[in-house]
Amino acid sequence: MEMKKYTQQYIGGQWRDGQGKSEMTNTNPFTGDTLYTYRSAGEKDVDDAYQAAQEAQRDWAAKAPGEKQAMLEKLIGAIHEMKDDIYACLVEEGGSTKPKADFEFFTSIDIVKEAMQFPLMMDGRIMPSNIPGKENYIFKSPRGVTGVIAPWNVPLVLAMRSVLPAVATGNAVVLKPATDTPGSAFLIAEMFEKAGMPKGLLNVVAGRGSEIGDLIVQHPIPQLISFTGSTEVGKQIRKNASGLIKEISLELGGNNAMVVLEDADIEHAAKAAGFGAFFHQGQVCMALNRIIVLDSVYDKFAQAFAEEAKHLPVGDPADPDTFIGPIINKGQIEQIEGYVKATKDAGAKVLLEGKTEGRLVYPWLFTEATNEMPAAKNEVFGPVCCLLRAKGEAEAIALANNTQYGLSGSVFTKDLYHGMQVARQIESGMVHVNDQSINDEPHVMFGGEKQSGVGRFNAQWVVDKFTTEKWVSVQSEYRF
């Protein structure tokens, strides 16, 4: 089944041509073929989208929790109805393999199910007062309108992860997708349409960041900006938003490490490393960039990991047997190749030599790497992984923490309680004992430390982020 061609913007519940300056091209990353072209959104489109969202939000916020839940439940039916379209889009415009598309489809449903609880989580507090006759009430309310900027690597889930909590807590949304994967955002717009959601509750504008990116953030209507993407862009968004005193939620880059202790099950650790390093070609913020292994088991692990990696099928993402598909664009391939060359030049040993065939990059494994080498220091966002040798546990923890990032991580050991103790010493928002680093459950906290982000997603954490609180006091006895 071919993916749908979305050649119009979605604003105020209407599909209309963009009014931007650019003719945009949506390209298949595996074949290089043009999927379709469309006119980009311009400044007027963004303004119209925010105006429509502001108007729709007032009525939506006033709806009873049960009404919101009933409409959110209809989204699940829309997702199931559009399953073939979702898979076709993820494969054709995003280069997703079958396991990756499965993850996005089923996780999207889980996100909606979790969000259905949020209208009933808009709780407040009654607090005592030291002033005679005064009663204090704290009310939780929606912020109003949220601007969401989604990435290209996991475009459906990472948009839904912000869109659904925003809507479920009474906000309206303007969503800007990445230029490499616009179709995924318009799929969400069509889901909202099929579910009968109010017009203007979700608006989607696709265009170049250079043309509309700053306006998405700086427009006066949105009070919260939720961005998922690179740390470099996140810093600029934070700067633009902070100058206007807007709330921000940033899920940014990672340089994630797995620590393999002396008593680890090497076979299982190697299999987990293969998935964690190369799922979706390593184009995941939670992917394993570095494996830090205790000296006594280093060589054994390296051999097992290389055997695992070299047998991972590389090829056409439409083939259900493929595990490693194409890199999203030529610029990303050039960056990966640059990191590989610079890391070899820095003295790392090639354990598994990859290669580039068209848009496919086969896995690269380096041993005897250090944190100063380019592929270990930077977020590669490709199928490249570095093995670092540690003399002891303390050194392994120090190596894991020697990075500007702190998103996700992993510890392998047969002593589960000790593994938890080690995990707590790693400066990362999420660490998984006896598992790889790519984990996301919609009911469990998600977020990073240091330059990996600001704020937390999922459950009560995201409810708190997408709402604001107001103090209302009632004076039953006159003070004056």
Distance CA 32, CA 318 (A): 14
168, 263, 449 from 294: Cα distances, Å: 46, 10, 25
Helix (H, G, I), strand (E, B) or coil at 392: coil
Q: Does residue 216 contact residue 147 with C-beta atoms inside 8 Å?
A: yes
Task: Evaluate whether 37 touches 17 at the Cβ level (below 8 Å).
Answer: no
Catalytic residue among 93, 190, 247, 285: 285
186: three-class secondary structure by DSSP: helix
| CB distance 17 to 39 below 8 Å | yes
Q: How far is CA 192 from CA 116, 367, 480, in A?
A: 15, 48, 53
Strand 453-454 to 247-251 pairing: antiparallel
Is residue 285 annotated as a catalytic residue, yes or no? Answer: yes
Measuring CA to CA, how many Å separate 163 from each of 39, 93, 362, 438?
A: 24, 21, 34, 21
Q: Do residues 45 and 235 lie in contact, with contact meaning Cβ atoms separated by under 8 Å?
A: no
Helix, strand, coil shares of the chain, percent, nearest 5, are 40, 25, 35
Order the strands of the 467-475 sheet from edge to edge.
125-127, 134-142, 467-475
Q: What is the CA radius of gyration of the chain?
A: 23
Whole-number Å distance between alpha carbons of 66 and 119:
8
Q: Which of 251, 308, 379, 385 is catalytic?
A: 251
Q: How many Å apart are CA 360 and CA 333, to the nearest integer?
A: 9
Distance CA 152, CA 328 (A): 8
Q: Is residue 308 flagged as an active site residue?
A: no
Measured CA to CA, the distance from residue 209 to residue 215 in angstroms comes to: 9
Residue among 282, 249, 96, 286 at smallest CA distance from 184: 96
Q: Distance (Å, rounded) from C-alpha 387 to C-alpha 298?
A: 9
| DSSP assignments along 119-143, one per residue | GGG---EEE--SSTTEEEEEEEEE-
> Rounded to an integer, what distance in angstroms lies between the CA atom of residue 431 and that of residue 5?
40
Residue 388 to residue 366: CA distance in whole angstroms: 9
Taking the C-alpha atoms of residue 117 and residue 64, their distance in angstroms, rounded to an integer, is 13
Q: What are 176's strand-pairing partners?
A: 149
| Single-letter amino acid, residue 124 | G
What is the set of active-site residues?
251, 285
